[in-house]
Amino acid sequence: MNDLMLSALAANGEILSPDFIEMIVRFAVNTIVVAILVYFFYFPKSHRRDFSFTFQLVGVAIFFLVFFMMFVLEDMKGKTSIGIGIGLFGIFSIMRYRTETMPVREMTYMFLIIALSVINALAATINYYELAFVNIVFLAATWFAEAYFGLKHVCTKLIQYDRIALITPEKRDELKNDLEQRTGLKILKVEVGALDLLKDMAVVKITYLPEGDEDNSIDHLYKLSKEQWTNVSSDN
């Protein structure tokens, strides 16, 4: 069925080959599904334009990389499986190309988009109905996870704390109240980390309820680099 449809579309003047038309169709499906994942599921909660931009372009890059890699390897016979394995290893390795730690939710969406783009590019043996079913399953699973397993949105923050006398377990309520007054946040949990007794400083990690659903991308940083200050200023 797919071959007849593609041959009919490419019959006029042989301007477009069946393979090219199939690539365009699969690329359109991949782009639409990735856009739905990014702008309907990910962005409304995170409001991270940087990751949204990255996810969209990673989907484009991975799709074309895998699709054309198959054409390069299709005549290599026995070497094809090895080549695909090496290529996929390289693809998933790009998840480490970041300069700062990627949050778990962003890492999950990155993995999801890479997997989806690889499937849409490699699944040349299934028809468009089966391909649509696979993409719908991805969307449905993401919606279900966001709706029913995405529990109350909380954030964490690392703080260098100076009132070291309040870090003892019996004064944990006082520590929490002091942090709430000084930060203006509704704190759910306080954890005490490293201590510097020479400077009377401690590192505490607080879990708090944000005012909205937006994530703070610098919660876990003590100091900002010059480049990060530039990014913060441009966002404002």
Q: What is the pLDDT of residues 193-220, one digit of tens each?
A: 888 888 888 888 888 877 655 555 555 5
Question: Which positions of the chain have pLDDT values less than 50?
Answer: 1, 9-10, 13, 78-79, 99, 224, 228-236
Domain boundaries, the chain: 2-149, 155-235
Nearest to 183 by CA among 215, 150, 205: 205
Residue 18: per-residue pLDDT: 74
Residue 216's pLDDT is 58
Q: What is residue 234's predicted lDDT score, i.e. its pLDDT?
A: 46
pLDDT value for 206:
85
Q: What is the spatial distance between Cα 10 and Cα 42, in angstroms, rounded to a whole number?
A: 38
What pLDDT score was predicted for residue 208?
Answer: 82
Measured CA to CA, the distance from residue 28 to residue 123 in angstroms comes to: 14
The pLDDT, as a whole number, for residue 31 is 94
In whole angstroms, how far apart are CA 174 and each of 40, 155, 166, 184? 41, 21, 7, 15
Q: What pLDDT shows up at residue 233?
A: 42
* DSSP-based three-state secondary structure for 196: strand
